[in-house]
Structure 1
Amino acid sequence: MSQSNQQQVFTVTRLNSAVRMILEQDLGLVWLTGELSNLAMPSSGHWYFSLKDISAQVRCAMFKGNNRRVPFRPQDGMQVLVQARVSLYEPRGEYQLIIESMQPAGDGALALRFEELKRRLAAEGLFDAARKRPLPTNPKAVGIITSATGAALHDILTVLGRRAPSLPIFIYPTQVQGNMASGQIVAAIELANRRAEVDVLIVGRGGGALEDLWCFNEERVARAIHGSAIPVVSAVGHEVDITISDLVADLRAPTPSAAAELVAPDQSERINQLNRLTQRLSQAMARQQTQQVHHFTLLAKRLEHQDPKRRLEQQSQRLDELGNRLQQLLSQRLHQGERRLNQLAQRLQSQSPERRLAQGRRRHQLAEARLHSLMSKRREQAEHKLAMLSARLDGVSPLATLGRGYSITRSQQGEVVSHARQVSAGQSLVTTLAEGHLLVRVEEVHNR
């Protein structure tokens, strides 16, 4: 092999390193958009994922020093716009992107802006239910802020014409889409407040994409609605569309037609209500008349009862009744006094000293008889117990045992002899009998 050919031989490591340097130096930073897939977030804090479109994909890595600056949490399937360095992962020889920055693409970016503004305004209290004002029950005039040529205005006017044809309507035409829309909406709200010619405002438009409705998510529109002295009904898009204007308004209507129904009372319903009130008034007047007639009848009867002659007769009858009750009361008190006197005489007789002395004598005699009986019984019991104890003592007495023919043998030193082995032949012993004692001499000793 020639010298020139030997210089062209690469190791795998050297080749991968050279390719990485070429990719990073020649391409530098690139912008691209795609869909996130196979997202992994290990404990190291780095992110690893693939970025793909309809026909290709590329591996990506975003290190924690960069991903800390991402203001949202990425998920599989999310469309993103990234700035990246093209590189090569040398250990495996795999081409990859090192992501420097990331942001949502298309609707994702708008959704992120929506959530950030929603969070910030909520923290300021612009969405608090306590600050929302009720709509007037019977508005004198209604203001509409929307496009003069849009379907929303037609729907609102149709509903208002049907429900309240005599209700005055003021239209403040504005753009409801595009860069100029938010400024015109703010100016219309301020104009309506300066003129003070309506007492409720409808602000809104028909449905559309998120970009079409975006002017109602602008912060200055939200603050204009919040600062309005006139209650505001937000009617933006369809029922599923939620905007910042809906959240800050005093009331949110799902559609422009629904907003018209909320602000305008139904005239036919008001006529029915008026008829019901008229009927209730007639019934109340009839009841009042009946009550007054009944009241006058009662007063006439009371006047008749207040006649002086009748009152005198009633008082005379009352006097007779009181006299009878007094007589009955005196008689009753007299009988009670007599019963009380008899009871006291009986108690006095029962407490007589002679009677109590006789009772004391009887109790003394009974106690004395019981004492003699108890002493006799106790004496008999003591004598019987003494006899029993004497018999028991006699039964265990050594003298009684000797009296039955037994004897006690002791050595001359006084030791009681109970075994034959305690003595020996020729030894002298003392035997005690029931009466007297013997001095004996041992001739023979027999041990068992």
Structure 2
Amino acid sequence: MSQSILTVSGLSRQIKSLLEGGIGRVWLSGEISNLATPASGHIYFTLKDDRSQIRCAMFRGRATRLTFRPAHGQQVLVRADVTLYEPRGDMQLMVDSMQPAGDGLLQQQYEALKMQLAAEGLFATSAKQPLPTQITTLGVITSASGAAIADVLSVLKRRDPMLKVIIYPTLVQGREATAAICNAIELANQRNEVDCLLLTRGGGSLEDLWCFNEQAVARAIYHSRLPLVSAVGHEVDTTIADYVADVRAPTPSAAAELLSRDRSHLGQRLQALQQQLQRATAAQLRQQQHQLALLNSRLQAAHPKAQLQQHSQRLDELSLRLQRAIQSQLQRQRHQHQQLQQRLQGQHPQQRLGIAKQRLEGLNQRLFAAQQRLFSHKRYQLGQLVAKIDSVSPLAVLSRGYAIANCHGQALTDASQASVGDSIDIRLHRGQISATVSAISQPNKNQ
């Protein structure tokens, strides 16, 4: 045949290579289902929405970094590499990081926009404008009633009272703040009445500071002809505006010190240059890290560790199947044991003795009843016999007034059987009389 014939595993490897090389790392949001956490420490789950689902695996080294406990039905945002699980031929995600949806989605949008603008060169050192060596008029873009402007004015009054300040009031939070900030930057550039601009506000959550992460604000800062210093939030807060600005100050007060003159002016200038160098170095480092991540992703696809992870996942899958099989077998054995125990109890001597005892009691009751019936019948028969005997008994005759005379041990039935002077015993119905024959009379032959 002119075409080469692939094996199933060979085709799976090609598909895996295409997925990992063609798609690579993605951000994905969805709902967790079919969550499994075996003893190995790895996490397996399905990420789904209302139309589709895809299997995911997160190995122990990444899972230990989670700041929350994943649960069934939870909405999450994951960063993962698209790959293929070769033993089943299933497409799956190899999850690198995971966080709850909400702030996580904002963070993902923040990272995506930061990478986009960095690729376009908005963070490049070559695009940064140097701050004026002498600032006589400073423009401040912020809320006129916020704490940031109070801190800035307090520091400027203490350090450089001669410095003129022009405030361009604007919203610094909410949906309308983005357009307001862009308009304030454009207005300051049109008037061209200040030497430098300071874009600032106090600290807040990622959502509170989100207007400073909007692309429109970033491009307005980038196109500003006036040098611009960004001081948004606290020291730990970093926004897109901070990356695009010519100089980033950690706090509003620090920005005021940077832009004001005093004995430490040269030191502050040096610090600003150091910050610019650090920012340039950090930007270059981030670009190199991004390139390294892409190369590392390709390397991991061919690295033995990836095969080891697949084998580890396969082992976890077989382990879970074995656990389910063992549990099923144990349930069947328990059921059979219960059946045998019930049959054994049915054949147990004690139970059989109990049944025999019940039967014996029943037979005893039947025997007693039969005896009672027999005794009653015999008693009845005996009464009839006694009545018959009584009917022919001499004693019954005696009760009617007759008597029995005995002479010489014989019952007298004829007067000739006794002689005058003989002693006779007369048996009455009640009692006995002894008498002596004094005369004998014979009945007439006619009688």
Taking CA–CA contacts closer than 8 Å with sequence separation of 6 or more, which of the two structures ends up with the larger relative contact order?
A: 2
TM-score tier by shorter-chain length is 0.3 to 0.5
TM-score scaled to structure 2, two decimals? 0.41
Find the structure with the greater CA-based Rg.
Answer: 1
